[in-house]
Chain A
């Protein structure tokens, strides 16, 4: 894997940051909830304390030790204002929970009463400043009031007895001559004749005939009612006699002491509660029977102390980005269900058991978590992006520097392993700079050693020259002292040896001198074919025991260079070919020119040992094996050939012939193209 990607992979370690954050958030949840619970406890306690100190608030609330279902009524707070139309759809649920008032609730009976001939259900509710009462009566025969009748009781009717704020008892009877809007009549007490005294305009009622009876829906201003109320339904079945059959009631409406209670949530108490606690809690005050006396706030909005942090949108990010990242946030959101925190404080008011219930939802906590997750994710994503980018960039830079260093090192040494040039030392102070400087140092030392090696033959030759000339001059002196004609065989042999030694020394320095002279020589454009032709003529004279065949396939072949050097190179190649070929064999020299000029020297003879093709042209390399050596062979001839070929911008190579009967040496030289020709 490339270095930048390795570092990028390392950036994945940054993923541990959001993970830790996620863990923290999970832990945070319980702490937040703890804090909220404590705050809720304080709220509940302080509400309880405040209520205990202000028990006059409960004065008008009918607190009872004992509550008789059906008799003691409770007016629940209604969610919306009921339409006064007699239809029971708004009331259906409450009617189901209502007791069935039937024969067990008969408060007077005047004639034979069939068990199921009359029964009713009743629901009460409060909305705003009005008390709503809904009565659903099952009656087999509905008898309406006569048009001109004075009495309001000689027909089916609904009676109400209400104890007002001043403890005064008012009785109302609701009767109608036809379904629709019904009238509430204020009536006298029974012992005073039960006469209709007046109509009560403040009370409005609607009478609706139903399939098996009728519904009466009544709206009573709240200030008419304090805490006691009773409802009763009287049944008249005979249209002619209009005799009362029976009356069924929630309580005995005819006896003031038996009138049942009506518990209405107290608005004063609720106002008071609202002042004590804010809307961030749902506070309910329950009487001893679990009925709600007062309630403030609603559970949906009551998010407790975290409610004010409920700014859920934005999080400093642009809207679209936030929305785009929303799924990511959701992925990391702790998925806990919303819970309700509930705190109860029992309370004793005038000997009655009261309970303060304070409740809050944990939406606030969820919101805080959500916000934190959003913050965390945004920060993490930013960190990811920035960190990843930085690491990738750093990796890219480092890898680029390393590969550049690699290329430089590679370029410093050529294919033959010679140090071509020094390495530019990096000035950077880091490890890669260090590496570069060390390489520079190593290459430098290598180059010095290389130079030393390359110089060695020259220096050696130079150093040997002096003793050779000592020997030579001494021999010369000696031979001059020897009388003429008296040839001394030992002197001749010594002279021969010294001459050979001098030849060796010359050839040792030849390559170096050639290299040194190259720079100082002027180039000329010449015809390669002409040079070859001249050379081959010379070879025919020089080596009588070899045939030479020259084939020139293109002419002229213009080459920019030094013809003497090319001839010198060819000398080396041909003398090499002569040496490795059997006597009287033919040495073929071919010149072809396409993109470049190609000179091939082909000879019969043994094949090259495997692996020697490249090294053959190095200095001091010789592959002579079993070939009779006739002169001094330092392996410099082909090295000189290579120097010449490379000086002309070409290359040289050797290979075995396809028929394995000899060797081909190939020299490629660039052709000089004259513009316009």
Chain B
């Protein structure tokens, strides 16, 4: 079954580039230039994944509105924000709207493709619930890179893709300091140091929502971050 991807992007060149490359990957791609068009197209026929720009034509927050609209129609539909806006505020807002990931337009197409594939894979695995073969366990942490699933103490941690890749990179070599550059490479995004910092903060918060005593991600000032051994488990 060919998966359907909807791209809502007001810049035609970018829209078509993305559409082209995704079609080459075998996806069925529909494109829209603004929110009304997108809502009309998706009214009856929901795609399997939506890539949305935040600023749509005259509507500077049109993407947010569209995201909310889509979330009301389907709670499981993967939504990716792809925007030129990279402020903390926009990222937090976008994720709160219910998006599964927030990417800036710096991202290279192969990375984008990999993310989309990962999202679909997560959906498949969740549907099929087959036993996974690619799982890293660190104390109470369980990172399933096949299902893109992260568990702490057996409870799933609701991470975005970017956050997931960061946790994955840290947990793969516990005790080793991962510099910001390494984290960027591993999570396949290009952002500045401050954005990495805020991502780490959000990750910690998400773990702390499950376990208030969580302190396994340690800041090594000037160098980066590292995963420390889970003392309680050992």
Q: Do A and B bind each other?
A: yes
Of B13, B18, B109, B222, most A-chain CB atoms within 10 Å:
B222
Chain B's closest residue to A520 (CB) is B88
Does B216 interact with chain A (Cβ within 8 Å)? no
Chain A's closest residue to B108 (CB) is A476
B interface residues, tally (CB under 8 Å): 35
Assess the A502–B106 pair: CB atoms within 8 A.
yes
Assess the A466–B84 pair: CB atoms within 8 A.
yes
Q: How far is the CA of A555 from the CA of B14 in the complex (A)?
A: 54
Does B110 interact with chain A (Cβ within 8 Å)? yes
Residues of A555-589 at the interface with B, using a CB-CB cut-off of 8 Å, are 563-564, 566-568, 570-571
Residues in A whose Cβ lies below 8 Å from that of B85: 462
Residues of A461-498 at the interface with B, using a CB-CB cut-off of 8 Å, are 462, 465-466, 468-470, 472-474, 476-477, 480
Given that A473-B17, A507-B192, A568-B193 are known contacts, is A516 also in contact with B221, CB under 8 Å in the complex? no
Assess the B109–A516 pair: CB atoms within 8 A.
no
CB distance from B185 to the nearest CB of A (A): 13
Residues of B24-56 at the interface with A, using a CB-CB cut-off of 8 Å, are 24
Q: How far is the CA of A520 from the CA of B221 in the complex (A)?
A: 21
Assess the B21–A510 pair: CB atoms within 8 A.
no
Please pick, from A477, A507, A535, A564, the residue contacting B21 in the complex, using a CB distance under 8 A. A477
Does B86 interact with chain A (Cβ within 8 Å)? yes
**Contacts between the two chains (Cβ within 8 Å), count:** 109
Assess the B14–A473 pair: CB atoms within 8 A.
yes
Assess the A517–B109 pair: CB atoms within 8 A.
no
Digitize B182-214: 1 where CB-to-A-CB distance is under 8 Å, 0 elsewhere. 000000001111110110000000000000000
Residues in A whose Cβ lies below 8 Å from that of B13: 470, 473-474
Does A316 interact with chain B (Cβ within 8 Å)? no
Assess the B220–A470 pair: CB atoms within 8 A.
no
Q: How far is the CA of A151 from the CA of B229 in the complex (A)?
A: 172
Does A109 interact with chain B (Cβ within 8 Å)? no
Assess the B17–A477 pair: CB atoms within 8 A.
yes
Give the dominant DSSP class at B's interface. Answer: mixed
Given that A509-B86, A516-B89 are known contacts, is A563 also in contact with B221, CB under 8 Å in the complex? yes
Digitize A535-547: 1 where CB-to-B-CB distance is under 8 Å, 0 elsewhere. 1111101000000
Residues in A whose Cβ lies below 8 Å from that of B224: 538
Does A318 interact with chain B (Cβ within 8 Å)? no
Does A514 interact with chain B (Cβ within 8 Å)? yes
CB distance from B44 to the nearest CB of A (A): 30
Residues in B whose Cβ lies below 8 Å from that of A567: 221-222
CB distance from A91 to the nearest CB of B (A): 126
CB distance from B224 to the nearest CB of A (A): 8
Residues in A whose Cβ lies below 8 Å from that of B104: 465
Assess the B17–A513 pair: CB atoms within 8 A.
no
Residues in B whose Cβ lies below 8 Å from that of A536: 222
Residues in A whose Cβ lies below 8 Å from that of B18: 473
Please pick, from B11, B194, B223, the residue contacting A534 in the complex, using a CB distance under 8 A. B223
Assess the A541–B88 pair: CB atoms within 8 A.
no
Chain A's closest residue to B109 (CB) is A476
Residues in A whose Cβ lies below 8 Å from that of B192: 506-507, 509-510, 513
Assess the A469–B190 pair: CB atoms within 8 A.
no
Chain A's closest residue to B220 (CB) is A534
Residues in A whose Cβ lies below 8 Å from that of B108: 472, 476
CB distance from A101 to the nearest CB of B (A): 138
Assess the B109–A473 pair: CB atoms within 8 A.
yes
Cβ-closest 4 pairs across A and B: A535-B222, A476-B109, A538-B222, A538-B223
15 A-B interface contacts by CB (under 8 A): A465-B104, A468-B105, A469-B105, A470-B11, A470-B17, A477-B109, A480-B21, A509-B192, A517-B87, A534-B220, A538-B220, A564-B221, A567-B222, A568-B194, A571-B222
